[in-house]
Each structure stands twice: as C-alpha cells, then as structure tokens.
Amino acid sequence: MRAALGLGGFFLVCFIVAGLGAAATTPEIAGWYRTIAKPRWNPPDVVFGPVWTVLYVMMAIAAWWVWKSAGFRGAAWPLTLFFLQLALNGLWSWIFFAWHRPGWAFAEILVLWLTLGATTLAFYSQSRFAGWMMSPYLAWVSFASYLNYAIWRLNS
C-alpha cells in the first residue's frame, strides 16, 4: 500500500507541474506562438502533448523507483535534484509562453538541462532503471534547448 501511495504521489506532483505548465502554454499556442518565426524542423504542435505526457509518466516512475529503493532520507540528494528540475521544467513554460521571453527561456532551459543531467546521473547511481527512465527526458530537453535557441535567434 505504501508503494502504491508513493507512486500516486509522484504522479500527482509531476502532473501538477504539467498542468501549471499547460496553463501557461495552451492559451499561447493559437496566439503568440503561431505568430513567431520557427525553424523548418520545428515539430507540429500535436507532437508536444503526447511526448510530454509520456515523459512525465517516465519521470514519475523513475522518482518513485528511487524513493522506493532508498526512501526520502536515503535518496535525499537525487530527489532534491528531481524536484528542482521539475520546478525548472514548469517555470520554463511560463518564461517562454506566458511571458514571451525566448532568450530568458533559453538561459533557464540550460540550467534545467544541467540540473536534469545531474538528476539523471544521481538516479542512475541509485538505480540503473531509474537513470534509464530519465534518459528520454534528457534527450528531449536537449532537443528542446536547441529549438528554444533557434526560435530565440529567429525572433531577436
């Protein structure tokens, strides 16, 4: 029962952040975002929702796995990094979409990328499974960083 509640808690936290990010993003897709210049290789808008849903599921499972294996005390550093990168993840949506600041968002996503890389390594040191579960998210944020940079440069 404890493990199931823990998994539910990690899902809840991840999807609260996803919802807060969507609150900043969704109103801007048909407005501001449609009007800015984007590179030819920008994925279609319909790709982002499903990709992020899968990534949030995977990161919740990874964090739960680390917690289940070591608890909050035993995994204090990896879980602190996890929650920090999660907060940075949510903040990026507000900077980029709600506040229309691609340059600031690029600076912030670099901090997110570094924090996420540290989280992935810390998770991997606790559990190879958890580290691998974070890897697609790290790859996607790497791509998103480059996309953010390209959008910033095209619109500055």
What does the domain layout of the chain look like in residue ranges?
A: 2-154
Mean pLDDT computed over 24-40 = 97
Per-residue pLDDT tens over the stretch 49-82 = 999 999 999 999 999 999 999 999 999 999 999 9
Q: What is the pLDDT of residues 96-145, one digit of tens each?
A: 999 999 999 999 999 999 999 999 999 999 999 999 999 999 999 999 99
CATH fold of the domain at 2-154: Ferritin (1.20.1260)
78-87 burial, b for 16+ CB within 10 Å, e for fewer? Answer: bbebbebbbe
